Amino acid sequence: MAELPTTYKAIEHALDQANVVKAMLGLKPVTKKLRNPEPDELLLQMGAASINPSDIAFLQGNYQIRKRVPAVPGIEDSGKIVATGQLLDAKKWLGKRVSCFSQQNKDGCWAEYFYAKPGEVLLTDERLDAAQVTTFFVNSFTAWGLCEIALQRESKAIVVNAAGSRLASFLYQLASMHQIEVIGVVRKQSTAELLKASGWKHVLLENSTAFSAQLKTLAHKLLANTAFDAVGGPATRNLLNAMPADSEIVIYDGLSNKFLSAIDLLGMIFENKMITGFNLNDWMAETDSLTFETAQNTLTEIILTSKIKNAVQAAFPLTEIKTALKTYLGNMSAGKVILTF
Ligand SMILES: NC(=O)c1ccc[n+]([C@@H]2O[C@H](COP(=O)([O-])OP(=O)(O)OC[C@H]3O[C@@H](n4cnc5c(N)ncnc54)[C@H](OP(=O)(O)O)[C@@H]3O)[C@@H](O)[C@H]2O)c1
């Protein structure tokens, strides 16, 4: 630890606030003491951290991980390993660049240094640039897990809402590799145009008056029997109603912050429609190392061959966290906003 500083800068979140603006205003820079890693910990010097919808949910007190506040937010990042706990193989880890996904009840990665467990990091391909390493873990693997569901269900087509997201772009790419058609649902005309310009054939605007009828017609015509729903609330009902019999709606977030309601029970009872959930943590726990490695290698190649990249719209220093959050919330479909250190 000789060459390491004794303190580091971080952003702290003091109080969960349902109102996202209030939550943002409550963030403040702090200085923390750098300690030696615990025997099973890696110490990362952070390269960058991404801002994801899960971070916003965390600040609002709506995420599955609740930390005792004040706490450092931040779930996904990249960094270099600068120290290892004594139980870990220093040769394997020291000096390596990693992508990190943290789900523990401890300080997160909006900080210059971060203590990670080996299961939270991925050694990444040297050829990936810094922005891609920072945004590699969460969305691409989730898209992989979702695509596995579509394959298991032998879907000819899938429906994806919040389709302007990074995750949806990976899912589109993976589904296309398996000749699965994708019906994208978005809430802004500008996002629909972006997707069409990048090759999406079927994009629907969820707030147009013709939406329900269009979705129903297309989902039946293309035999879309799986829908991936990041929005929840009324969106889930709309998907369920529009999908053919034997369809499954897989909910993987609730961006609308609304409860499910007015679900067509008859559809569930007599048409065998169902609603399930997906979360990356469980997928990782259930996935064997060979499948995981195949996913990582394939996703890396997809990025390297530029079939799809995690678009990054802006980067801000950690101290400009509020501007970074405002930029991201102002246009999420424009790409990730990352924090640099
Ligand atoms: N379950 C899991 O394990 C898991 C893992 C990873 C990600 N996720 C979820 O996957 C989703 C995509 O993540 P990402 O990082 O790829 O997102 P992203 O690139 O940051 O984009 C977010 C997208 O969500 C759209 N959106 C936000 N609020 C919406 C609403 N109320 N109704 C409709 N669309 C809305 C945005 O559209 P606008 O531009 O119109 O705002 C934007 O296209 C997120 O919900 C995330 O939490 C879940």
Give the domain extent around 42. 7-136+310-340
Decide if 305 is inside a domain. Answer: no
Q: Does one domain contain both 178 and 248?
A: yes
The residue whose C-alpha atom lies closest to atom 18 belonging to ligand 1 is 165
The finding on whether 140 has its CB within 6 A of some atom of ligand 1 is no
Give the total number of structural domains in the chain. 2
Which pTM does this prediction carry? 0.96
Nearest ligand 1 atom to the CA of 281 is 3
The finding on whether 108 has its CB within 6 A of some atom of ligand 1 is no
Gap between the Cα atoms of 17 and 128, Å rounded: 36
Residue 43 neighbours by CB under 8 Å, 6+ apart: 4, 34, 36, 37, 81, 82, 83, 84, 113, 114, 115
Report the b/e string of 124-134 with b at 16+ CB within 10 A.
bbeebeebbbb
- Among 230, 260, 281, the domain boundary falls at 281
The residue whose C-alpha atom lies closest to atom 41 belonging to ligand 1 is 332
The closest alpha carbon to 212, from 247, 255, 241, belongs to 241
The finding on whether 174 has its CB within 6 A of some atom of ligand 1 is no
- Among 262, 281, 300, the domain boundary falls at 281
Angstrom distances, CA of residue 225 to CA of 22, 78, 142: 40, 36, 19
Per-residue pLDDT of the chain (341 residues; tens, 9 = 90+): 558 999 999 999 988 888 999 999 999 999 999 999 999 999 999 999 999 999 999 999 988 888 888 999 999 999 999 999 999 999 999 999 999 999 888 999 999 999 999 999 999 999 999 999 999 999 999 999 999 999 999 999 999 999 999 999 999 999 999 999 999 999 999 999 999 999 999 999 999 999 999 999 999 999 999 999 999 999 999 999 999 999 999 999 999 999 998 899 999 999 999 999 999 999 999 999 999 999 999 999 999 998 898 999 999 999 999 999 999 999 999 999 999 99
Q: Does one domain contain both 172 and 277?
A: yes
Q: For the chain, where are the alpha helices, taking DSSP H only?
A: 20-25, 53-59, 90-93, 130-134, 137-152, 166-177, 189-197, 211-221, 234-242, 265-270, 280-286, 289-304, 321-330
The finding on whether 231 has its CB within 6 A of some atom of ligand 1 is yes
The closest alpha carbon to 325, from 90, 112, 41, 17, belongs to 17
Q: Does one domain contain both 132 and 41?
A: yes
Nearest ligand 1 atom to the CA of 328 is 20
CATH of residue 219's domain is 3.40.50.720
Nearest ligand 1 atom to the CA of 206 is 33
Decide if 289 is inside a domain. Answer: no
The answer to whether the CB of 48 falls within 8 A of the CB of 80 is no
Q: Does one domain contain both 186 and 276?
A: yes
First-to-last alpha carbon distance for the chain, in angstroms, is 19
The residue whose C-alpha atom lies closest to atom 27 belonging to ligand 1 is 255
- Tally the C-alpha atoms within 13 A of residue 50's C-alpha that lie toward its C-beta: 28
Q: Does one domain contain both 266 and 320?
A: no
Decide if 98 is inside a domain. Answer: yes
| CA–centroid distance, residue 53 to ligand 1 (Å) | 6
Token readout for 73 is: 């937010």
The finding on whether 139 has its CB within 6 A of some atom of ligand 1 is yes
- Among 281, 299, 318, the domain boundary falls at 281
Decide if 299 is inside a domain. Answer: no
Nearest ligand 1 atom to the CA of 53 is 47
The answer to whether the CB of 245 falls within 8 A of the CB of 271 is yes
According to the model, what pLDDT value does residue 303 have? 96
Decide if 250 is inside a domain. Answer: yes
Decide if 296 is inside a domain. Answer: no
The residue whose C-alpha atom lies closest to atom 35 belonging to ligand 1 is 162
Q: Does one domain contain both 334 and 251?
A: no
Q: Does one domain contain both 157 and 123?
A: no
Token readout for 278 is: 């997906």
Q: Does one domain contain both 149 and 270?
A: yes
Decide if 251 is inside a domain. Answer: yes
The residue whose C-alpha atom lies closest to atom 15 belonging to ligand 1 is 52
The residue whose C-alpha atom lies closest to atom 44 belonging to ligand 1 is 53
The residue whose C-alpha atom lies closest to atom 23 belonging to ligand 1 is 165
The residue whose C-alpha atom lies closest to atom 31 belonging to ligand 1 is 256
Residue 191 neighbours by CB under 8 Å, 6+ apart: 163, 164, 333
Helix orientation angle between 166-177 and 289-304, rounded to the nearest 10 degrees: 100
Beta bridge partners of 229: 251
According to the model, what pLDDT value does residue 57 have? 94
By 3-state DSSP, what share of the chain in percent is helix, strand and coil, each rounded to 5?
35, 25, 40
Decide if 87 is inside a domain. Answer: yes
According to the model, what pLDDT value does residue 66 have? 84
CATH of residue 84's domain is 3.90.180.10
The finding on whether 278 has its CB within 6 A of some atom of ligand 1 is yes
The closest alpha carbon to 49, from 297, 312, 283, 301, belongs to 312
Residue 24 neighbours by CB under 8 Å, 6+ apart: 59, 321, 322, 325, 326
Q: Does one domain contain both 221 and 247?
A: yes
The finding on whether 78 has its CB within 6 A of some atom of ligand 1 is no
Q: Does one domain contain both 145 and 176?
A: yes
Beta bridge partners of 9: 31
The finding on whether 191 has its CB within 6 A of some atom of ligand 1 is yes
Helix (H, G, I), strand (E, B) or coil at 218: helix
Q: Does one domain contain both 149 and 271?
A: yes
The finding on whether 252 has its CB within 6 A of some atom of ligand 1 is yes
According to the model, what pLDDT value does residue 2 have? 53
Helix orientation angle between 289-304 and 137-152, rounded to the nearest 10 degrees: 110
Q: Does one domain contain both 181 and 260?
A: yes
